[in-house]
Amino acid sequence: MTISRARRNLRIILGIMLMLSLSFFSTAVYFRIQTKQKNISILSIAPTLFQLDIYQHRALAYFSDKDGQFKIAKKMIRQGIFSRVYSDSGTIMLKDLAESGHAPSQTYYANILIRFPPQSEENRAAARNYLQLAAAQNYTPAQEILNDLDKHE
């Protein structure tokens, strides 16, 4: 009995996913046992766990459309409360989306440039540029922010 090429490829993909799932499960069990026995401190492995979580977010973003990537970037920025690597990675992802022409990302990134340090003239000019690009796409929130900026200047 022959197996079609598509079915064989599906089996290979499912096998790889099974192996990844089992390795993740065994790693999670290992770390759980080691932390219960006080052999490993959570604080010592936290940076590695955060980095692995960032890789997971990036993998999800790779298979998402621009709106999905935008949601993932915002989530990572919000998770910056746990570790700065989250907010840095989310900001980089958001900047890449803004540079690719995604209007909501341009507006959100412009808000970050305006509201958070370092608040320099260069950042304000870049924020205004992103807002103008988003407003040119008839993105209403960007137009409103531009109007507010014009009123205050």
Question: Looking at residue 27, what is its pLDDT?
Answer: 87
Nearest to 109 by CA among 84, 86, 134: 134
User: Average pLDDT per run of 10 along the chain, which is 153 residues long?
Assistant: 89 94 91 86 82 90 94 95 91 96 96 86 92 94 90 75
Pick the CATH number of 45-152 from 1.10.3470, 1.25.40, 1.20.1740, 3.30.43: 1.25.40
8 token code pair: 């064989």
Query: Whole-model pTM above 0.75?
Result: no
- Crossing angle for the helix pair 42-62 and 66-78, nearest 10 degrees? 160
Question: Looking at residue 12, what is its pLDDT?
Answer: 95
Question: Looking at residue 2, what is its pLDDT?
Answer: 85
* Domain definitions of the chain by residue range: 1-40, 45-152
Question: Looking at residue 89, what is its pLDDT?
Answer: 95
